[in-house]
């Protein structure tokens, strides 16, 4: 029985079939770091840039091509840094600009590229523009950079329209004028501490172009664009039909999301990115209802990649998975962009837990998790990851998934910090459970996340001692070693990442079988029963224990095998 790396592929490579080296990002494995939860150098319980810097060798060994850092900018942290007060400053909680420079330099020395988060839909209410818009009162020129409106009703006591915040409650908050009387309202699609910019105002567009240049000059390799389908709102900010649910995915019926005008912004950004050497990129967090609408963001003169949320939200079912893979490849292929694949991030239930939960087709961000059998969840998650890493295109991993961390489902309400949790009275906003700090080693919390005896901003479960990096390192069969082996194979085998093709093979129901030219095959058993097939070739890697002697192989439930054929 084995569930480890069996051998590197030995099959002859057909050099003609190996495409010319493509830009690094087309098949990159990009690892998301959530800075406050990755590594804490100073013991304040919150991760920081020096902490990340100290762990870069780990990421090099893991075998990722790039890291994407969630926001570390100056911020009051009303939404864990997605409320930016100063786009050119590092929050002291995370370090300094010199730390950022050092981190980028160290990462580059190790061959790791660095992508930073850009939050252009809204700022913090503590951003200088917004503060001035408030303190200077209704006549302030800064008001035009946000959406300020008079209220409805006799005394302006009702919001200007019926839009709702994604985090619950109305999307408008009333201001108080400098003389103490109730004033205009401002729009915030997320928390009240996150006022939406008015992208019709030229100063907003100019400012973001200079912010892009600021970070590009500092050496970053790209940007992850937060709420990339936001920014442009329907003219006149019209009311919506009250029956419209107000979700990130409501593009089409929602007057704030996925408006055609947003693409003009990305065309201008692409020109800036292309001015810099070394293939600097941008990846869109664009929630849109169809693959085609998502593909609009990655047309040749726009952004480079877009997250594939449809894939993330697809149930563990062979027909559904095959369809989402085909649809993604087709839509991205039409615009010449690589597909992307991701299963976890800082907004969704970790896939170790989520993939065992009923999928009601609802939006995945902030969904309430339920407890599942951890062993069964891990088995399925490992199989899903090997499938993901075998697909053509770029893969996004979220910190801790390489340790098989489950969602922490039992955080008490008083430690939860997701603003949506509190605004929606606990009915939504369950994003803290995937943000619990990483266990690096040791027998006691914070398990090496910070100095011994220190704290962590969210409590770590006791069971995480066994899941730490130190506990898994070098242990045959551990999830960490599985990820390392998979990433090493993916790097060394031209049939994988950079290979562009995918050919489905006929297979028994519930088994997905596809080939990547010239010699790679992936088999995934998505059923609850073992499936027996003729041995297709030489096994390279398996997501769980498999008996590999004989002319046939029995693929256990929820198991993926990589083969050289």
Q: Which positions are annotated as active-site residues? A: 226, 275
Counting other chains too, the contacts that 524-527 makes at CB distance below 8 Å and 24 or more residues apart are 524/318, 524/321, 524/383, 524/386, 524/387, 524/559, 524/560, 525/383, 525/555, 525/556, 525/557, 525/558, 525/559, 525/560, 526/316, 526/317, 526/318, 526/321, 526/383, 526/558, 527/318, 527/557
Judged by CB, which is closer to ligand GLC: 196, or 327?
A: 196
For position 312 contacting ligand GLC by CB under 6 A, the verdict is no
Supply the minimum distance, in Å, between the C-beta of residue 341 and ligand GLC: 18
Options 190, 246, 440, 514; binder of ligand GLC; rule CB under 6 A: 190
Options 133, 227, 251, 434; binder of ligand GLC; rule CB under 6 A: 227
For position 396 contacting ligand GLC by CB under 6 A, the verdict is no
For position 193 contacting ligand GLC by CB under 6 A, the verdict is no
Residues 71-130 within binding reach of ligand GLC (CB under 6 A): 79, 82, 119
* Residue 393 CB partners (closer than 8 Å, separation 6+): 26, 27, 329, 332, 338, 339, 340, 341
149 to 188: interface string for ligand GLC, x by CB under 6 A = ----------------------------------------
Supply the minimum distance, in Å, between the C-beta of residue 501 and ligand GLC: 32
Judged by CB, which is closer to ligand GLC: 27, or 226?
A: 226
Shortest-Cβ-distance residue relative to ligand GLC: 82
Supply the minimum distance, in Å, between the C-beta of residue 346 and ligand GLC: 6
Cα distance from N-terminal residue to C-terminal residue, the chain: 20
Supply the minimum distance, in Å, between the C-beta of residue 183 and ligand GLC: 25
The rounded distance, in Å, linking the Cα atoms of 522 and 562 is: 5
* Residue 370 CB partners (closer than 8 Å, separation 6+): 357, 409
For position 226 contacting ligand GLC by CB under 6 A, the verdict is yes
The pair of structure tokens assigned to 124 is 């913090």
- For the chain, the farthest-separated pair of C-alpha atoms sits apart, in whole angstroms, at 85
**Per-residue DSSP letters for 465-513?**
GGGSHHHHTT-TT-HHHHHHHHHHHHHH-TTSTT----EE---STTEEE
Identify the helix (H) or strand (E) that includes residue 202. helix 202-218
Q: How far is CA 262 from CA 39, 201, 534, in A?
A: 36, 13, 51
Supply the minimum distance, in Å, between the C-beta of residue 79 and ligand GLC: 5
Residues 221 and 113: beta-carbon distance below 8 Å: yes
Identify the helix (H) or strand (E) that includes residue 130. helix 128-135
Residues 493-512 within binding reach of ligand GLC (CB under 6 A): none
Three-state DSSP class for residue 267: helix
Options 250, 347, 402, 428; binder of ligand GLC; rule CB under 6 A: 347
Supply the minimum distance, in Å, between the C-beta of residue 543 and ligand GLC: 28
Residue that is written with structure tokens 């991760």 in the block? 47
Judged by CB, which is closer to ligand GLC: 101, or 247?
A: 247
The pair of structure tokens assigned to 220 is 């970053």
Supply the minimum distance, in Å, between the C-beta of residue 168 and ligand GLC: 12
Judged by CB, which is closer to ligand GLC: 27, or 285?
A: 285
Judged by CB, which is closer to ligand GLC: 77, or 472?
A: 77
- Binding-site residue total for ligand GLC (CB under 6 A)? 9
Judged by CB, which is closer to ligand GLC: 170, or 556?
A: 170
Supply the minimum distance, in Å, between the C-beta of residue 82 and ligand GLC: 3
The rounded distance, in Å, linking the Cα atoms of 323 and 540 is: 26
How many alpha carbons fall within 13 Å on the CB side of residue 403? 26
The pair of structure tokens assigned to 381 is 């998650």
282 to 301: interface string for ligand GLC, x by CB under 6 A = ---x----------------
Residues 158 and 152: beta-carbon distance below 8 Å: yes
449 to 488: interface string for ligand GLC, x by CB under 6 A = ----------------------------------------
Judged by CB, which is closer to ligand GLC: 78, or 553?
A: 78
- Binding interface with ligand GLC (CB under 6 A): 79, 82, 119, 190, 226-227, 285, 346-347
């Amino acid at each position: 029985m084995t569930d480890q790396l069996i051998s590197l592929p030995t099959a002859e490579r057909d050099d003609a079939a190996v495409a010319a080296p493509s830009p690094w990002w087309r098949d990159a494995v990009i690892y998301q770091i959530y800075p406050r939860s990755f590594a804490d150098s100073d013991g304040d319980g919150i991760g920081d840039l020096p902490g990340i810097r100290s762990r870069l060798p780990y990421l090099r060994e893991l075998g990722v091509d790039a890291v994407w850092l969630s926001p570390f900018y100056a911020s009051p942290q009303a939404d864990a840094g997605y409320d930016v007060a100063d786009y050119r400053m590092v929050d002291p909680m995370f370090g300094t600009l010199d730390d950022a420079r050092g981190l980028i330099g160290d990462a580059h020395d190790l061959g790791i590229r660095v992508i930073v988060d850009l939050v252009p839909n809204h700022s913090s209410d503590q951003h200088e523009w917004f503060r001035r818009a408030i303190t200077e009162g209704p006549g302030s020129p800064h008001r035009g950079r946000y959406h300020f409106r008079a209220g409805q009703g006799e005394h302006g006591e009702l919001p200007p329209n019926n839009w709702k915040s994604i985090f619950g409650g109305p999307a408008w908050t009333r201001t108080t004028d400098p003389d103490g009387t109730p004033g205009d309202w401002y729009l915030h699609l997320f928390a009240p501490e996150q006022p939406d910019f008015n992208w019709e105002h030229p100063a907003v567009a100019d400012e973001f172009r200079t912010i892009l240049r600021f970070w590009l000059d500092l050496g970053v390799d790209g940007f992850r664009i937060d709420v990339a389908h936001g920014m442009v709102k329907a003219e006149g900010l019209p009311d919506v039909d009250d029956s419209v649910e107000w979700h990130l995915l409501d593009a089409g019926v929602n007057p704030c999301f996925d408006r055609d005008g947003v693409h003009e912004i990305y065309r201008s950004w692409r020109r800036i990115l292309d001015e810099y050497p070394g293939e600097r990129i941008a990846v869109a967090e664009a929630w849109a209802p169809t693959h085609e609408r998502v593909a609009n963001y990655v047309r040749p003169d726009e952004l480079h990649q877009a997250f594939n949320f449809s894939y993330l939200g697809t149930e563990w079912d062979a027909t559904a998975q095959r369809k989402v893979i085909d649809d993604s490849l087709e839509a991205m292929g039409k615009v010449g962009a690589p597909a992307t694949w991701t299963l976890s991030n800082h907004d969704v239930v970790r896939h170790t837990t989520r993939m065992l939960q009923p999928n009601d087709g609802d939006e995945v961000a902030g969904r309430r998790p339920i407890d599942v059998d951890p062993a069964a969840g891990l088995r399925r998650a490992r199989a899903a990851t090997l499938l993901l890493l075998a697909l053509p295109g770029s893969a996004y991993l979220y910190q801790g998934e390489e340790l098989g961390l489950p969602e922490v489902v039992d955080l008490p309400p008083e430690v939860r910090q997701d603003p949506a949790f509190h605004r929606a009275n606990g009915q939504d906003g369950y994003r803290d459970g995937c943000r619990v700090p990483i266990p690096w080693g040791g027998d006691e919390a914070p398990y090496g996340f910070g100095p011994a005896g220190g704290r962590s901003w969210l409590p770590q479960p006791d069971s995480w001692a066994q899941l730490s990096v130190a506990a898994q390192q070098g242990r045959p069969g551990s999830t960490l070693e599985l990820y390392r082996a998979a990433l090493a194979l993916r790097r060394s085998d031209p049939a994988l990442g950079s290979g562009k093709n995918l050919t489905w093979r006929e297979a028994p129901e519930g088994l997905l079988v596809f080939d990547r030219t010239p010699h790679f095959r992936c088999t995934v058993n998505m059923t609850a029963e073992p499936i027996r097939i003729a041995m297709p070739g030489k096994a390279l890697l398996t997501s769980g224990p498999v008996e590999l002697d004989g002319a046939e192989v029995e693929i256990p439930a929820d198991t993926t095998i990589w083969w050289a054929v």
